[in-house]
Amino acid sequence: MEEPDAGAFAFTGDWRDYAPIAFTNLLLTIVTLGVYRFWATTRTRRYLWSRTRFIDEPLEWTGTGMELFIGFLLVLALFGIPLLFLQFGMQTLIFNGQARLAFSLAFLAFAMIFYLSGVARFRMLRYRLSRTWWHGIRGGSDEKGWAYGWSYVWRYVVAAFSLYLLIPWAMMSLWNDRWSAMSFGPFPFRAKAGPGAVFKRFLLFYLLPLALFVLLTIAGIGMREGETALDPAAAAMMGFLFLFIYAGLGVIALVFYAKFFRVAVGGMSLSGLHFHFRARSRDWLMLILGDIALVVLTLGIGAIFLSYRHWKFFITHLDATGEISLSELTQSTTAAPRQGEGLADAFDIGAI
């Protein structure tokens, strides 16, 4: 089936094809006061999936705007009202001098949101796989994500207690947990990447600000001892330095994430297929700089093309080797979720 010199994945879209979808989405979202957002997302995905070829057949997105909308309303009913109450209730409690109660409630709310954002990540993936079809077969998961939510909480708590040194481990093991619970047709995904490979880059990200901070402190003490007030030139220098640090940190974070993504996807397989992700740090940097340029130069309107760009980036650098037997790839028996990714939407997680 494999065409020579073509990867297993190919993106065949064209931004000029997509532009009418993007602009009408923007227009309809504005005039419906944002309600059309869900149908807009659906149209975008339908386009992107249909222009994503895997081996011999494009993917197909079958989610609907209505189910995303219903998911949104459900989450609003479940969490919006308590959260709203908490917001106003907090003020009232503090006004009444019940600060301790207010803060313990706030902590509780924070913990709940933390747990649910873990659950949301899981359910988002499950929903997307359950609406993704290829050769008339879909994906999904038998789990609902409640257990994953707990492992999300405890792993990040442990990572925090290790002075954040264990963050790569938390990220990687959560990625593996999440994907290992997913399946496509009868085949489970396997995700077995170890965190060791990304740890060095994480240390770079972790130690650089520390080193800079130490340097700056020494410089600051030197200045203090010299009893010189900051002259404009030095102030400009400082400003420039801060900007540099800020941008530099962003780049280092990107360098770490590029490696993380390569390793994480590289550890994944499905039946006889092994996945690879080929984007290097430079590719990620170009993507982000392109995003910024696009948004700035179009005064923000270009933002409607971001999801297109990100998907294209993802598919262009994704590859799979090995084989999958079509006759053994039978229909998924997982229960398909009935509504969309309302939770993820509420916590602003992942936007394609």
Partner 1 sequence: MTSAGPDERIWHYDGQDATRHHPRIDWHAEGFSLVWPGGTSGPHRWSDLVPQGNAGGRSVYGLRGQGGWRLVFAGLPPHDFAVHLPLPARYGRWIDRIGLWPAIGLFALIAAILLFVVLRAPAWVAPLIPRSWEDRLGDTMIGDFGGRLCETPESRAALEKLRRELGDAVPIRRIAIANIKMVNAVALPGGHIIIFRDLIEEAKSPDELAGVLAHEIGHVRNRDTMTALVRQLGLSVLLGGFNGQVGGTINGLLALSYGRDAEREADRYSIEALRAADISPLPTAAFFERMEKRSGGESIERAMSWMASHPVSAERKAAFEDSAVKGGHYKPALSAAEWKALVDACAHDKDVAPPPFDF
Question: Rounded distance, CA 238 to CA 282, Å?
Answer: 28
Q: What is the DSSP letter of 33?
A: T
Considering the complex, state which of residue 46 and residue 276 has its C-beta at the smaller distance from partner 1: 46
Q: Which of 118, 125, 318, 345 binds partner 1 (CB under 8 A)?
A: 345
Name the 3-class secondary structure at 105: helix
Residue 32 binds partner 1, judged by CB under 8 A: yes
Q: Which of 97, 211, 232, 233 binds partner 1 (CB under 8 A)?
A: 97
Considering the complex, state which of residue 262 and residue 345 has its C-beta at the smaller distance from partner 1: 345
| Cβ burial 11-23 (10 Å sphere, 16+ → b, else e) | bebeeeebeebbe
Residue 298 binds partner 1, judged by CB under 8 A: no
Partnered with residue 133 across adjacent β-strands are 60, 138
Interaction mask 43-82, partner 1, x per CB under 8 A:
x--x---xx----xxx-x-x--x----------x---x--
Considering the complex, state which of residue 40 and residue 264 has its C-beta at the smaller distance from partner 1: 40
- For residues 310 and 352, the answer to whether their CB atoms sit within 8 Å is yes
Residue 140 main-chain phi, psi, to 5 deg: 160, -165
Which two tokens mark 205?
Answer: 């990200």
Q: Which of 106, 137, 245, 352 binds partner 1 (CB under 8 A)?
A: 137
Q: Which of 16, 226, 227, 327 binds partner 1 (CB under 8 A)?
A: 327
Rounded least distance, CB 132 to partner 1, Å:
12
> Residue 85's closest CA among 106, 99, 104?
106
Q: Which of 31, 111, 157, 293 binds partner 1 (CB under 8 A)?
A: 31
Question: Rounded distance, CA 259 to CA 198, Å?
Answer: 6
| Amino acid at residue number 102 | A
Question: Rounded distance, CA 81 to CA 87, Å?
Answer: 10
Question: Rounded distance, CA 305 to CA 232, Å?
Answer: 41
Q: Which of 19, 85, 92, 288 binds partner 1 (CB under 8 A)?
A: 92
- For residues 270 and 179, the answer to whether their CB atoms sit within 8 Å is no
Question: Rounded distance, CA 197 to CA 168, Å?
Answer: 9
Residue 201 binds partner 1, judged by CB under 8 A: no
The H-or-E segment that residue 52 falls in is strand 52-54
Rounded least distance, CB 330 to partner 1, Å:
4
Question: Rounded distance, CA 347 to CA 121, Å?
Answer: 10
Q: Which of 85, 95, 110, 246 binds partner 1 (CB under 8 A)?
A: 95
Partnered with residue 320 across adjacent β-strands are 275
Residue 138 binds partner 1, judged by CB under 8 A: yes
Rounded least distance, CB 24 to partner 1, Å:
6
Residue 333 binds partner 1, judged by CB under 8 A: no
Q: Which stretch binds partner 1 (CB under 8 A): 117-125, 148-156, 193-201, 327-335?
A: 327-335
- For residues 225 and 247, the answer to whether their CB atoms sit within 8 Å is no
Which two tokens mark 299?
Answer: 């005064």
Considering the complex, state which of residue 33 and residue 211 has its C-beta at the smaller distance from partner 1: 33
Considering the complex, state which of residue 31 and residue 165 has its C-beta at the smaller distance from partner 1: 31
Residue numbers 8-27 binding partner 1 by CB under 8 A: 12, 24, 27
Rounded least distance, CB 338 to partner 1, Å:
14
Q: By the criterion CB under 8 A, which residues form the site for partner 1?
A: 12, 24, 27-28, 31-37, 39, 43, 46, 50-51, 56-58, 60, 62, 65, 76, 80, 84, 88, 91-92, 94-98, 133-138, 185, 326-331, 345, 348
